[in-house]
Amino acid sequence: MVSVLPSAIRRSALAIPQSFVAGAARPTILAASILQRGGKLSATSRGLSLLSRVQNGRAIRNSQSSRVQGWRAPKIQTQVRWNSDESEPRLRYWKFEEINAALPSESTDSPSHSPVILVDVREPVELTGTGIIPTAISIPLASQPDALYLTNDEFETRFGFPKPQVDGEGKIVFYCKAGVRAEAAAQLAVQAGYDPETLGVYYGSWLDWAKNGGRVERWEGDD
C-alpha cells in the first residue's frame, strides 16, 4: 500500500494540473477574445456614434440652411417679376402686311416725315448686299448706339437727314435682319425719351420681308 499510494497520488497529481490548466486556459483565452472583440466593437461603436452625431449635425445645419433659403427665394423671385413688369415697355409688333400697307406709293425725299418711319438698324455692309425697305432710314445700332440721344443738329450732321422727333405724331418701326436688334433699338429709344406707344418692331424683319417678296430699294449710303 505504501508503494501504491504514492504512485496513484503522483498519477492523480499529474492528471489534475493538466485538466485544471486545460479548463482554466479556455476561459482565459475566451475572456481575452471577448475583451479584444469588445474593445473593437466599443471603438467601432464610438466611431459610429461620432459619425452619426456629425451627420446629424450636418443634416440639421443643411435643414436650417434649406429653410432659410426657401424663405428668401420667394422674395427674390417676386422682386424680379415686379421689376420686369414695371420696367419693360409694351411695344407693338408689326407684321409684313402692316408694313407693306404703310408704305407710300412713291418714296419721298424726307422719309422722317412719313406717317410710319421705318428704321433699319443693320450695319451699312449688310444693306449693300440686300438693299432696304423703301422709305426706310439707316441708323446702325452696333456702330451708332448713341444716335437717338443726339440733338437734332448733331443727328442731322452725322446722318444727313432729320432726326425722328420724340414728340412726333407718326409711328417709328425698327427692323433688322431677324428682329433681335430691332427690339433692342426700340428699348434704347424708350430710354432716350420716345413714347413706347409710338414705337414698334417689325417681327421677322428683313428675313420675313424678303420671304414675302416685299419691295426693295438699293442702298446708296456709305459703307
The 10s digit of each residue's pLDDT in 104-163 is 876 555 454 458 999 999 999 999 999 999 999 999 999 999 999 999 999 999 999 999
Is the pTM above the cut of 0.75?
Answer: no
Question: Are 127 and 120 a contacting pair, CB within 8 Å?
Answer: yes
Dist. CA 102–CA 104, nearest whole Å: 6
Dist. CA 154–CA 147, nearest whole Å: 9
**Terminal Cα-to-Cα distance of the chain (whole angstroms):** 141
- Which sign, positive or negative, has the C-alpha torsion 194, 214, 217, 179? positive
Residue 107, SS3 per DSSP: coil
**Whole-Å CA distances, 209 to 93, 97, 115:** 14, 10, 20
Question: Which grid cell sits at 185?
Answer: 433699338
pLDDT at 170: 87
pLDDT at 105: 73
Predicted confidence band of residue 220 (pLDDT cuts 50, 70, 90): confident
Q: Which amino acid is at 74?
A: P
Q: Which amino acid is at 145?
A: P
- Which sign, positive or negative, has the C-alpha torsion 46, 51, 56, 58? positive
Dist. CA 187–CA 185, nearest whole Å: 5
Question: Are 219 and 124 a contacting pair, CB within 8 Å?
Answer: yes
**Whole-Å CA distances, 5 to 2, 9, 13, 17, 168:** 6, 6, 12, 18, 142
Q: Lowest mean pLDDT of 23-37, 143-157, 194-208, name the range.
A: 23-37
Count other Cβ atoms within 10 Å, centred on residue 171.
Answer: 18
